[in-house]
Amino acid sequence: MSSSIETLISREYQHGFVTDIESDTMPAGLSEDVVRAISEKKSEPAFMVEWRLKAYRRWLSMKEPHWPNVTYGPIDYQATSYYSAPKTKTPLGSIDDVDPELLKTYAKLGIPLYEQKMLAGVAVDAIFDSVSVGTTMREELAKHGIIFCSFGEALREHPELVEKYLGSVVPYSDNFFAALNSAVFSDGSFVYVPKGVRCPVELSTYFRINSADTGQFERTLIIADEGAYVSYLEGCTAPKRSTNQLHAAVVELVALKGATIKYSTVQNWYAGDKEGRGGIYNFVTKRGKAAENAKISWTQVETGSAITWKYPSVILQGDNSVGEFYSVAVVNNKQQADTGTKMIHIGRNTKSTIVSKGISAGEGNNSYRGRVQVLPRATGARNYTQCDSMLVGNRCGAHTFPYIEVGNNSAIVEHEASTSKIGEDQIFYLKQRGLSAEQAVSMIVSGFCKEVFKELPMEFALEAQALLGITLEGSVG
Amino acid sequence: MAGSAAEPFVEAFDELTSDASTPAWVQSMRRAAFERFGTLGFPTTKNEDWHFTSVSPIADHDYVFLAAKSGDVGRDELAPFTFGATGWYTMVFVNGRFAPELSDIAKLPNGVKVWDLASAWTKVPDVVDRVGKLATYDNQAFTALNTAFMLDGGVVQIAKDTEVDRPIHLVFVTDATAAKGMMHPRNLILVGKHAKATVIESFVSTTDAVYLTNAVTEVSVGEGATLQHYKMQRESARAFHVGTIEASQARDSHYISFSLATGAALSRTNVYTTLDGEGSGATLNGLYMANGEQHVDHQTQIIHAQPNCFSREMYKGVLDGRSHGVFNGKVYVHPMAQKTDGKQTNNNLLLSETAHVDTKPQLEIFADDVKCTHGATVGQIDQTALFYLKSRGIESALARRLLTYAFAAGVLETIEVNEVREALEKMTLERFV
């Protein structure tokens, strides 16, 4: 590796500032009382408290899993605060009532909270620490009967929808972190698109962790009713802190008959410094359930977090349903990522596509872990998987753990994987065509990730490319 | 050891280790391994390496350790398992014990020496001191159990610069007296510098009894040497078979392995090799065919520990009835193993609606200047090809057999020993009638 490449890969994390805002933070620790208190603060209906407590009790009986290919010190669940909210005159009437300090934060992050950004055609729900601070374009959406609000609001205004679908894809007993999230989740986004409606704008949620020593546990529930279409974007950032913070979110997607949900994530939590101090532990459960003729598509660009551990999955329950997973995961310095997907083919003629691109630099470790399961009933199931890794430097690692389980002989399952490097010769070739080394690396990496970026909505694709460049800075050398 | 997994084996173990004529180092190795097995116990499906294979059918049986010579197998009964070849150097083991009267090792060429393990450790202790050094049992319960009960097996030594003209065939045969018995064959193959040899291990049976074969073969391939190593698992339909091969390769060596698995109710074959010298290469191929309720599992592991090595791997599976096939192939590339060139393929053909396959090709790469790919497919017989053959007047059943054969032929044609290749091709054509 030449030094010219090395200098490219270390631009600083740009979202590492802290917003100085008064917040209402619960003392650290977790108990039934804390669970009740969170529920009370949010004036939730009775079924919610019960559900949380069930989840909490289940969580107590569960053990933290350690099967992923990542290492980290023990997490003290009693040292984390499970609720933090910016202090405001409640309740918020409109975006204009939001603390200007907060709006500044989002302006710095480039989040289009303001109406002027309406031209961007994106409706945004912004989550600061644990609570939602504002949702834009609600009226426009209401015209179509689309509900897009914070989870807390949904619980107050549409409890029947929440009760019906909450936990229907990821039950509270699903896994350790999902159980923890079910017990203490404070807010998140809720989307309901009625029958046959095509959501006219991209919906977007921006997550921000601000306070120190708090965990962020948000929960997203998206329901696309029969024949509906919705595209949803999620972005995340956090300030630089020297301690690790836990982020354990749950996302549930319900695509009813013939519905389509497209879920895109650009995850850029603080990744820790060069020595691996600090950074977010991103332990997330994401899953969608597709009914007959429905389609769920996950696209993710994972550049941040000290540790990323998530497998956005699709349960292909209905006949002819389709699942897709497009992923770019980048690790640099001491970052670790164990990510991939699960495609569970239950219905007939179900199809799934997996395209995963892993880039490892510095001392990062990147694992693709995926499961393609074809159950005996799933006649005519089809899967295509491609996972490619790129290594930059020789202190990093790339790992592939695909599990393919086929119980029906009419299924066709293909899996392909390759590993390659950015070669000096490739860089030399581009440089002699007049590009700088930095541009050359960026171009090679973009080319490598092209198949995934083309799945992202345009603004996100540009952001993702820029992020990729930043994450890899200083890793080539 | 009350309550531990080792308990059912304690009596047999005590009897085996009470034999005073066994060298002390063997006894102490056995004891350490037995203790380790007691700690490890039989693997469960929670163990990642055994995720798709439950060994409870094995663990649920009680076995008698076949320490003494037993059985009555005639030369004519061995004929179906010798590939119709004549003049091979053959060692036959009946129910786990060496049977010199059935073996043909009188006229070995210069540079080739073979022993049965039990006599080797008293006669040539300096040769067998490699035993237990190549195959480790720290995390391998079955290797630990084998080491605890190691008693017999083939020891093959090829001197440097020797090119062996014919294959050396180790035949492990069981007959009806092996019913409810267990055998732990332990083999050692040492190939000297620049030598070339072919070794075939066959696990066969003249009975349909229930028994357990738990074999371990340790292989060392010297500098610039080439070893072709075939393992033919054609055990009785109700038997259990666990077989582990661990190879270590020196500079510029080439290890070529082929594993066939068609027998046993439940079988597991491990083929592990470490490319421990620069410029060495490994070719691991295999074919598994199962029907009925058979469960057939393969795990391979290629460790690239040095730069400029290559590995090629191709495993194919044909599964019919309610059978279950498992493939797990690991390729591990150390940080210093730059310029590694690795390729791995696993193809599965499902012939029935109830056959099941789990495959897990796995790459772990820590070096950046490498070229590694893997691929896995699962599918059924190509309907277009079937239609094409039928339109040419070939009846459906024969067309299926031809296409199945064609699928398997892709890996069978890599077999260099003509007799073996032809026998397996014939077997493939006839198996799924």
A388 to chain B, closest Cα gap in Å: 9
Instruction: Please judge whether B378 and A417 are an interchain contact, meaning their C-beta atoms are less than 8 angstroms apart.
Output: no
The answer to whether residue B337 is domain-embedded is: no
Q: What is the mean pLDDT of chain B?
A: 93
Boundary of a domain, candidates B239, B259, B277:
B277
pLDDT at A237: 64
The residue in chain B having the minimum alpha-carbon distance to the alpha carbon of residue A396 is B366
Residue B33 sits in the same domain as residue B155: yes
* pLDDT exceeds cutoff 90 at B430: no
The residue in chain A having the minimum alpha-carbon distance to the alpha carbon of residue B379 is A412
Strands B371-379, B154-158: pairing kind: unpaired
pLDDT at A18: 62
The answer to whether residue B302 is domain-embedded is: no
In which band, very low, low, confident or very high, does the pLDDT at A271 lie, cut at 50, 70 and 90? confident
Structural domain total, chain B:
2
**A137-166 confidence digits (pLDDT tens):** 777 788 889 998 888 888 888 999 999 999
More confident residue, B270 or A208: B270
Buried/exposed code over A21-39 (b: 16+ C-beta within 10 A; e: otherwise): bebebbebebeeebbeebb
In which band, very low, low, confident or very high, does the pLDDT at B422 lie, cut at 50, 70 and 90? very high
Give this prediction's pTM. 0.83
pLDDT at A106: 58
B343 to chain A, closest Cα gap in Å: 9
Q: Which residues of B are less than 8 Å from A65 in CB distance?
A: none
Mean pLDDT of B356-383: 89
Percentage of chain A beyond pLDDT 70 is: 78
Instruction: Please judge whether B368 and A67 are an interchain contact, meaning their C-beta atoms are less than 8 angstroms apart.
Output: no
In which band, very low, low, confident or very high, does the pLDDT at A118 lie, cut at 50, 70 and 90? very low
Mean pLDDT of B406-418: 94
A461 to chain B, closest Cα gap in Å: 27
Mean pLDDT of A10-18: 58
Boundary of a domain, candidates B277, B294, B325:
B277
Taken as a whole, chain B contains a residue count of: 433
For residue A384, report the phi and psi dihedrals to the nearest 5 degrees: -130, 125
Instruction: Please judge whether A391 and B351 are an interchain contact, meaning their C-beta atoms are less than 8 angstroms apart.
Output: no
- Locate A235 and state its tokens: 């972005």
Between CA B232 and CA B412 the distance in angstroms is 13
Residue B12 sits in the same domain as residue B146: yes
pLDDT at A8: 41
Q: Which residues of B are less than 8 Å from A2 in CB distance?
A: none
Mean pLDDT of B6-29: 90
Instruction: Please judge whether B367 and A391 are an interchain contact, meaning their C-beta atoms are less than 8 angstroms apart.
Output: yes
Choose, out of A372, A382, A383, A404, the residue to mutate when testing the contact with B (most B CBs < 10 Å): A404
More confident residue, B264 or A461: B264
Instruction: Please judge whether A401 and B369 are an interchain contact, meaning their C-beta atoms are less than 8 angstroms apart.
Output: no
* pLDDT exceeds cutoff 70 at B52: yes
The answer to whether residue B268 is domain-embedded is: yes
Mean pLDDT of B296-322: 96
Rounded to a whole number of angstroms, the distance between the first and last alpha carbons of chain B is 50
The residue in chain B having the minimum alpha-carbon distance to the alpha carbon of residue A410 is B380
A371 to chain B, closest Cα gap in Å: 9
Under DSSP, the state recorded for B87 is S
The residue in chain A having the minimum alpha-carbon distance to the alpha carbon of residue B321 is A409
Mean pLDDT of A80-100: 58
Between CA A126 and CA B372 the distance in angstroms is 43
The answer to whether residue B369 is domain-embedded is: no
Domain membership of residue B144 as a residue range: 7-277
The dihedral sign for the CA sequence A137, A139, A142, A147: positive
Q: What is the mean pLDDT of chain A?
A: 81
In which band, very low, low, confident or very high, does the pLDDT at A242 lie, cut at 50, 70 and 90? low
Of the given ranges (A238-252, A318-332, B386-400), which has the lowest mean pLDDT? A238-252
The answer to whether residue B345 is domain-embedded is: no
Mean pLDDT of A437-455: 83
Mean pLDDT of A432-454: 84
Mean pLDDT of A305-313: 90
> Which H, E and C letters describe chain A, residue by residue?
CCHHHHHHHCCCCCCCCCCCCCEEECCCCCCHHHHHHHHHHCCCCHHHHHHHHHHHHHHHCCCCCCCCCCCCCCCCCCCCECCEEECCCCCCCCHHHCCHHHHHHHHHHCCCCCHHHHHHCEEEEEEECCEEEEECCHHHHHHCCCEEEEHHHHHHHCHHHHHHHCCCCCCCCCCHHHHHHHHHCCECEEEEECCCCECCCEEEEEEECCCCCECECEEEEEEECCCCEEEEEEEEECCCCCCEEEECCEEEEEECCCCEEEEEEEECCCCCCCCCCCEEEEEEEEEEEECCCCEEEEEEEECCCCEEEECCEEEECCCCCEEEEEEEEEECCCCEEEECCEEEECCCCCEEEEEEEEEEECCCEEEEEEEEEECCCCCCCEEEEEEEEEEECCCCEEEEEEEEEECCCCCEEEEEEEEEECCHHHHHHHHCCCCCHHHHHHHHHHHHHHHHHCCCCHHHHHHHHHHHHHHHCCCCC
Of the given ranges (A411-420, B137-146, B157-166, B315-324), which has the lowest mean pLDDT? A411-420
Q: What is the ipTM for the molecules in this complex?
A: 0.76
Longest dimension (CA), chain A: 68
* pLDDT exceeds cutoff 90 at A89: no
In which band, very low, low, confident or very high, does the pLDDT at A457 lie, cut at 50, 70 and 90? confident
* pLDDT exceeds cutoff 50 at A90: no
* pLDDT exceeds cutoff 60 at B1: no
* pLDDT exceeds cutoff 50 at B59: yes
- Locate B105 and state its tokens: 């090792």
Of the given ranges (A4-18, A312-326, B35-49, B75-89), which has the lowest mean pLDDT? A4-18
Instruction: Please judge whether A406 and B370 are an interchain contact, meaning their C-beta atoms are less than 8 angstroms apart.
Output: no
Mean pLDDT of B394-416: 93
* pLDDT exceeds cutoff 50 at A2: no
pLDDT at B287: 97
**A167-188 confidence digits (pLDDT tens):** 999 999 899 999 999 998 878 8
pLDDT at B55: 93
**B217-240 confidence digits (pLDDT tens):** 999 999 999 999 999 999 999 999
In which band, very low, low, confident or very high, does the pLDDT at A214 lie, cut at 50, 70 and 90? low
* pLDDT exceeds cutoff 70 at A17: no
Of A392, A404, A409, the CB nearest to B368: A392
pLDDT at B6: 83
Of the given ranges (A61-70, B118-127, B199-208), which has the lowest mean pLDDT? A61-70
pLDDT at B163: 95
* pLDDT exceeds cutoff 80 at A220: yes
Under DSSP, the state recorded for B104 is B
Mean pLDDT of B369-374: 88
Instruction: Please judge whether B368 and A391 are an interchain contact, meaning their C-beta atoms are less than 8 angstroms apart.
Output: yes
The ranges assigned to domains in chain A are: 17-422
pLDDT at A200: 84
A365 to chain B, closest Cα gap in Å: 9
In which band, very low, low, confident or very high, does the pLDDT at A109 lie, cut at 50, 70 and 90? low
**A347-389 confidence digits (pLDDT tens):** 999 999 999 999 888 888 999 999 999 999 999 999 999 989 9
Interface of B with A in 342-371 (CB under 8 A): 348, 350-371
Residue B272 sits in the same domain as residue B392: no
The residue in chain A having the minimum alpha-carbon distance to the alpha carbon of residue B363 is A400
Boundary of a domain, candidates B277, B298, B326:
B277
The answer to whether residue B91 is domain-embedded is: yes
* pLDDT exceeds cutoff 80 at A295: yes
pLDDT at A75: 82
Mean pLDDT of A427-453: 86
